[in-house]
Amino acid sequence: MTNPSSPLPALLPDEDQQVTIVSVRDGNISVLPARVLVTRPHKIALSLEAPSAEAQRWTDGQSLTLLYTHGEHIMRLRAELRERVADDRVTVEPIGEAKEGDRRDFRRADLEARIRIRKCPSRDTAEARERQLATPLPEESPEFEIQSVNLSGSGVSFEANEPFELDDLVDIRVVLEMRPRRIVSMIGRVVRHVRPDLPKPIVAVRFAELSEADQDAVIYSVFAAHFATVGLGNELTLDDVDSP
């Protein structure tokens, strides 16, 4: 717990809060998920979700940007690496004040993707996930189609090729243009019909089952697509997230 006699600067991340660490190397964006262990006015201890080769290349003074939620908004906080405690634990020092982004800033992105969508035969998420994992698809499968999807770490909207009802479960496979290219799979639950008037209605689903590794890949792709479209923004510059 923080010492009440030493108030924190406004809007620092809370202890045990999930954050995203952003750095840039040679113009390539690295996005790493982490959790806050300790928050102090001049120190934030972070636990990386897993040891990272990119994090291993960070040196003392490495400039990073922490992105985290505060209410309806995403906060951006510059920080510098101060100590590497272990392969998956670091201590950073906040630099300046946290800046508030737009409500949906960094949360989702529109991107062209090869996607495969099928309605699950049941509404049991465990059963649907088990069936999905038992039927992997190769990247070159003709069942994938190119769509413009709206993707986030918690859900996706897409053009439906078959009718879906609210609460239907959907088997979703997406080819992400990463290095190397990656297929992610998730079970989604239909939560909204965005454009039911279209020949191919737009359906929104919230992810109900996906692996942590696949979610990290989705989040990375969302950040990369966002930055590729709008750049690093007026408040988030290459200097803010520069890597050696």
Of 180 and 140, the structure prediction assigns the larger pLDDT to 140
11 within domain boundaries: no
177 within domain boundaries: yes
Tell me what pLDDT residue 234 has.
39
Whether this model's pTM surpasses 0.85: no
* CB-based contact 20:67 (threshold 8 Å): yes
Tell me what pLDDT residue 87 has.
85
- Residue 24's CB: how many other CB atoms inside 10 A? 21
Tell me what pLDDT residue 196 has.
83
Tell me what pLDDT residue 228 has.
63
Strands (E), the chain: 18-25, 28-40, 43-48, 63-70, 73-86, 89-94, 99-100, 108-119, 145-152, 155-159, 169-176, 182-195, 202-210
218 within domain boundaries: no
| Same domain assignment for residues 139 and 161 | yes
Of 69, 88, 103, the domain-final residue: 103
| Same domain assignment for residues 115 and 203 | yes
67 within domain boundaries: yes
Which CATH number covers residue 185?
2.40.10
Q: Is the pLDDT of residue 32 over 50?
A: yes
- Residue 79's CB: how many other CB atoms inside 10 A? 24
70 within domain boundaries: yes
| Same domain assignment for residues 63 and 130 | no
Domain tally, the chain:
2
68 within domain boundaries: yes
For residue 167, is it left (φ>0), alpha (ψ between -120 and 50) or beta? Answer: left
| Same domain assignment for residues 143 and 205 | yes
Distance CA 117, CA 147 (A): 11
143 within domain boundaries: yes
Mean pLDDT, the chain, integer:
81
| Same domain assignment for residues 130 and 48 | no
The single-letter DSSP state of residue 6 is S
- Tell which residue, 77, 154, 69, 78, has the closest CA to residue 103: 69
Q: How many CA atoms lie within 13 A of 126 on its CB side?
A: 0
Place of tokens 């309806």: 72
| Same domain assignment for residues 134 and 199 | yes
Which CATH number covers residue 71?
2.30.110.70
* CB-based contact 78:68 (threshold 8 Å): no
8 within domain boundaries: no
| Same domain assignment for residues 73 and 116 | no
| Same domain assignment for residues 112 and 206 | yes
Of 43, 78, 103, the domain-final residue: 103
| Same domain assignment for residues 125 and 182 | yes
Distance CA 204, CA 216 (A): 20
Per the structure, the complete domain to which residue 27 belongs is given by: 18-103
| Same domain assignment for residues 183 and 96 | no
| Same domain assignment for residues 154 and 192 | yes
- How does residue 169 score in pLDDT terms, banded at 50, 70 and 90? very high
- Tell which residue, 12, 144, 143, 127, has the closest CA to residue 66: 12
| Same domain assignment for residues 197 and 128 | yes
Q: Is the pLDDT of residue 231 over 70?
A: no
Peptide bond into 136 cis (omega under 30): no
